[in-house]
Amino acid sequence: MRAFYAQRIQHLMNAIRHKPYAAARLSKLLHQLFIVARRERIASGTFDPVNVTQPAKVKSKGYDRWSEAELAKFDEKHPLGTKTRLAFSRCSTVRSAAETCAICHTGRLQGAAFA
């Protein structure tokens, strides 16, 4: 158990940060290992270096935006009236409303006249 310390675990987490699910799984497995080690009295009652480590930051470009061709392909595959099409239109409406609220909230509409 002495081989496990916070800096080493943090180094492992950073090494696999490009795979966030793998990093989260490693963290959970090590946490469970330390629970068993404390229960079996292999480690002291407060020994859990996973609690002090921070999850690795993942650089992401965010969500991809659909092109017009992809939207047309979706429209062909899922005609009006299907559950998939309804869910998509519902999400699109909610996202559009959320973007509008964000614009209004950040004060980008200063001096704008509303009719």
What percent of the chain shows pLDDT beyond 70? 71
Domain that holds residue 101: 68-105
User: Do 48 and 73 belong to one domain?
Assistant: no
> What gap in Å lies between CA 109 and CA 60, rounded to an integer?
29
In a domain, 112, yes or no: no
In a domain, 29, yes or no: yes
pLDDT of residue 13: 78
Q: How many domains does the chain have?
A: 2
Using 50, 70 and 90 to split pLDDT, how confident is the model at 111?
low
In a domain, 22, yes or no: yes
Compute the chain's Rg from CA coordinates. Answer: 24
> What gap in Å lies between CA 31 and CA 29, rounded to an integer?
5
Question: Cα 89 to the chain's mean position, in Å?
Answer: 23
User: Do 46 and 13 belong to one domain?
Assistant: yes
